[in-house]
Structure formats: C-alpha cells, structure tokens
Amino acid sequence: MRKLFFCLLLSLPMLAFAQVPQPFNVVGKFGNINAKIYLGYQLGSNRVLDSAQAVNGSFEFKGTLIYPSLAVLVIDFKGVGADKMDVGPNSDKLAFYLDKGTINMQSPDSAYKAKIIGSPINDQYLKLLAINGEAGAKTNALMTEQVRLANDPANANKPVDQNALQAKLKVIQADYHAKLKAFISANPDSYLSLLSIGTLGGPSPDPNELLPVLDGLSKELQQTETARSIRNSLESLKATANGAMAPDFEQADTLGHPVRLSSFRGKYVLLDFWASWCGPCRQENPNVVRVFNKYKDKNFTIVSVSLDRPGAVFSWLEAIKRDHLGGWTQLSDLKFWNNAVARLYFVQSIPKNFLIDPAGKIIAQDLRGDDLESELQKVLR
C-alpha cells in the first residue's frame, strides 16, 4: 500500500459491503513499451495496489471488485518502484473507472494518451469530467477577473462587491447542478449517477431536493449499500431541513451565561455559524451587520455560533469587536468542528445559516449576500 500513490484516488466510497465481488479484467496495448505498470483502486474498505509488466506494450490486470471504483494507472518508465515514482500532475497516468467485465485500453506510447474502448461507465465518466471542467473553468475565469480588478490601481479605494460576486457564482452553480441532474436523469442505472448525488448535495445537502433524485434511479441501484447509506444520511438531515422544527439547544454566550434557542420564540431568528479564522465568514459579516441593523426593529434577530478553536477565546471576542457583531447574541463552546450546536445541525462547512420563523420552524438556509435581505423582505412585511 502506498499512501502517496492513493492520494490520486478521489471520492472513493469506503462502506461495509455485503455484495459478492465480481471479476474484472484490464487488457492494454501501449505501443511497444517495456515497463512496470501500477494500478490502484478501492475494494470495499480496502485500498489495493497491483502491478503488471508491460511486454512490447501488452499488459493485463485481473481482480475482483464489489462496486465500480475510481482507479489510477501509472507507468514506471524509470523503474524506480511505487515508493519513488512521480505521481504528480505532470506524471504519466490515467484515471478511469474499474467495472466488472473486460476493460480494453489502447495507446501509442503512454498512459496519458490511452483510450478506453467499449466501457459505458468510462464514457459516462468523460461526460462528468466535461461538466466539472466547464464549471471549474467558469469559476476560475470569474475569480481571475476579480483579482485583476482588485489589483487595478483605478479600483484601489473600491471594496469588492461581495453581493455581485456571490450572484455570479450562484449562476455558475445553478448551471452546474442543472447539468448534473440532467446527467443523473439520463443515466438512472449508472453507479456514477449515484455518486453524483453526493456532488450535487455538496457540504450542505438538502434532503428535500436529493431524495427525489435518488428515487429516480433504477431499483437495482437503489438496493446497493452505497444508495442505502446515502438515503440514511439524507433521512437524518430531515431534522434540519426546510420545514422542520429547529432543534433546540443551550450554549454559553461571551460572558459564560447559558442561552437557549427557544428563548427567542416569537421572532424571526437567523442562526448563523461562523468563526474568527473563517475568511469567507469574515467577508460576509459586513452584509450580516447591515441586514441586522436594517431589520432588528422588525421582529428579527441573530444568534451566532462560533466554531473557534479551544483556547481561542481572545480571537473570537476580537473578531466580534472588529466586525461589529456585538449587537446580537454570540455563542460558542470553543470546540472547533466539535461544537455541540454545529454537530446538532450537521454543519460541515461555514459560513452556514438557518432562518427560523417565530414558531421555531426552519424556513430557509444558506442565505448569503442579497439572498438574506430578499428572504427577510418576504417574511417581514
């Protein structure tokens, strides 16, 4: 097992499987090379590293797998062995999906140029790569333009318009999600469609959105352990989905006094998760302050929960002061990602927020930029 080699393997499911392993066979012809070739992939919860000798370009791998697995094939042209091979971005490697049956590869001289013939899952994988690549290119172009504008002397005294930036990023994300959903809909029996549901959900999956997508997959796919695990996770997230009653909690404020969420019943409450070390949170704070000052006298308040680290009380309090967040309730147990409230609300990334109505029901979440004020305008009439 080589940890360096397996850092190339992305998003590999490591679940407890009950299914019977199925045989696979990888047959390749890479020109006339004579070198050792390594193949890394996932088998249930185990990572496997196999090797084969290419003779006059021909090689073969045989094995078994439970579900399709993202794999990496690397050619050791220098004969240095798996421990010393260069597996960086510029190395000669091929990422592909292993599946039961035979996978045929052909290349004139390298792994990088290899073409996979007669493999539906790898045809689908190329489509997904194109979808991801397009979204990534659009995002990189947008951020590059933001850097250019920020470095332009003509804009030296102009702050970055975070609301405009967020609006543009939302357009890219919406297009990306629409294309992922179209891929899933067009391939209801593909294991990659199942894995794409996780990508679609991101760090803050919405079970109300994703469970119907999961239900649209083939019955055979829904019966896999992977699908069951995804379904169980989404079902558990219903506790903090839109329409659910916000779980009550108690946590200490900046003076050490316990505060309960339910004590704010009768008001609209923005439950806001942040931290002093979180750059995007600090960038969003001026918008949160502006919205609070505008609506604080209209039956609206904020309860912030900080995921600051143990012993970082000074950093937490200093950030509250610098960002002018003292107008509303600030809570933390200073346990970083183990913050009790963050775990109760399944918080996987910050900034993260939930808008709670006067009855204690979650009515919206992940409101950033202009979205926060737009939502408040709907309910605070």
Alpha-helical runs (H) found in the chain: 3-6, 120-151, 162-186, 191-201, 207-215, 219-222, 225-237, 279-295, 313-322, 340-344, 370-379
Q: Which amino acid is it at 343? A: R
CATH class, domain 250-379, is alpha beta
User: How far is residue 90's CA from residue 21's CA, in Å, rounded to a whole number?
Assistant: 34
CB distance 258 to 332 below 8 Å: no
Which residues of the chain are modeled with pLDDT < 50? 1-18
CB distance 268 to 299 below 8 Å: yes
Which CATH superfamily is 3-117 part of?
Immunoglobulins (2.60.40.10)
Residues making up the chain, counted from first to last: 381
Domain extents in the chain: 3-117, 122-240, 250-379
Residues 6+ apart with CB under 8 A from 340: 249, 251, 333
Residue with tokens 């979650």: 362
Which secondary-structure segment (H or E) carries 363? Answer: strand 362-365
- From 217, 136, 216, 127, select the one nearest 180 (Cα to Cα): 127
Q: What is the pLDDT of residue 192?
A: 95
Q: What is the pLDDT of residue 18?
A: 46
| Residue 15, CA distances (Å) to 10, 96, 207 in order | 15, 20, 20
User: How far is residue 345's CA from residue 246's CA, in Å, rounded to a whole number?
Assistant: 9
User: How far is residue 364's CA from residue 343's CA, in Å, rounded to a whole number?
Assistant: 19
Tokens encoding 242: 């839109």
Q: What is the pLDDT of residue 5?
A: 34
Q: What is the pLDDT of residue 19?
A: 65
Helices 191-201 and 162-186: crossing angle in degrees, nearest 10, is: 160
Q: Which amino acid is it at 179? A: K
